[in-house]
Amino acid sequence: MILSYIFILHNQMNIIVFRIISGLLFLISLLPFRILYLISDLLYITLYYLTGYRRKVVFNNLKNSFPDKSMEELRAIEKRYYHYLSDLIVESVKSFTISSEEIKKRFVFKNLSAITSYLESGRSVIAVSGHYGNWEWASIAIAQELNEDMLIVYKPLSNKRIEKLVNAMRSKFGAILVPMKNTLRKLVEYKNKPYVLALISDQTPPREESHYFMNFLNQPTSIFLGVEKIAVKYNNPIIYFNIKRKKRGYYECLIEPIVDNPKSTKEFEITNIHTKELEKNIRLAPEFWLWSHKRWKFSPADIKQKNDQST
């Protein structure tokens, strides 16, 4: 997701241009963090002041999510967000060459036994998070902490060259990348051995898959039901990655069990639980969520009108 911000390339880009940019990104990733964060400071000025990258989207999302905040408060969050987005971009570039020792130092897991105890008892686990904190580092860091396979579900990119590059970075410490549409097929392969399945839950479902809306950040929001459907089907316990940024370039992830027995839950209960966990994170430190994403593309009324037209 974040690396698509870096490229901003057309699907039919020239392969030579792609290789040049990829090579430059690799060279940049070799720079020490102190230099990368100087680049981030310049990137912030470029994104926020010079190009105004998606500023209208960001501000409208903030204004609708926090109607009780003043204009000054919203602008302050907006600026902090762009500072963080810039850091996130250079940290994602650094992921290409970051060492195992460095990522362990910079991304620390707490309560890892919440996962390993399930795995040791033969139960597979679903790990849920959102586009909050450095979720890319979470996905590469957790894989080297586990003996069992880490399956990361992702949404394929339209540009397959970028997808191949990004997936190579994400899988560098052993994670297995699974295209979203192949998830159930992949899980059949693992029916006799435990695994951890990582899902990002806050993407916008396509209009035709928008079957459930809940109040999220003061707005009716269409929520993907994939986490709940998979958990109930396989009765896999669910843990939530509660990511906090301790300081620039350093993160802590508290692993929180949120559902132990999915088959005993009511419809939409699981979806409500993990979505509310994410909302709590966002309200505590809103600048670390992906506000430049066009999250609210349609309302329940839009879906109803579409359904009425098709009947």
pLDDT at site 11 = 46
- Specify the DSSP element, H or E, that contains 36: helix 33-44
pLDDT at site 9 = 41
Sign of the torsion formed by the C-alpha atoms of 83, 110, 238 and 157: positive
d(Cα 78, Cα 55) in Å, to the nearest integer?
8
d(Cα 223, Cα 38) in Å, to the nearest integer?
37
d(Cα 227, Cα 234) in Å, to the nearest integer?
11
d(Cα 229, Cα 146) in Å, to the nearest integer?
25
Task: Profile the chain (311 residues) by mean pLDDT over runs of 10 residues.
Answer: 50 70 92 98 97 96 98 98 97 95 97 97 97 94 94 88 86 94 95 95 89 96 96 98 97 98 98 98 98 90 71 58
**Residue of 3, 302, 7 whose CA lies nearest to 168:** 3
d(Cα 179, Cα 271) in Å, to the nearest integer?
21
- Tokens found for residue 108: 């620390």
Domain ranges of the chain: 2-294
Sequence letter at residue 124: S
- Tokens found for residue 111: 């309560």
Cβ within 8 Å of residue 185, ≥6 positions away = none
- Specify the DSSP element, H or E, that contains 31: none
Q: Give the pLDDT confidence of 21-70 residue by residue, as tens digits.
A: 889 999 999 999 999 999 999 999 999 999 999 999 999 999 999 999 99
Contact predicate 166/3, CB 8 Å: yes
Length reported for the chain: 311
Q: Give the pLDDT confidence of 199-235 residue by residue, as tens digits.
A: 999 988 988 888 899 999 999 999 999 999 999 999 9
**How many angstroms separate the Cα of 243 from the Cα of each of 3, 271, 277, 278, 299?**
20, 19, 11, 10, 29
The 10 Å CB-count burial string (b at 16+, else e) for 237-273 is: bbbbbbbbbeeebebebebeebbeebeebeeeebbbb
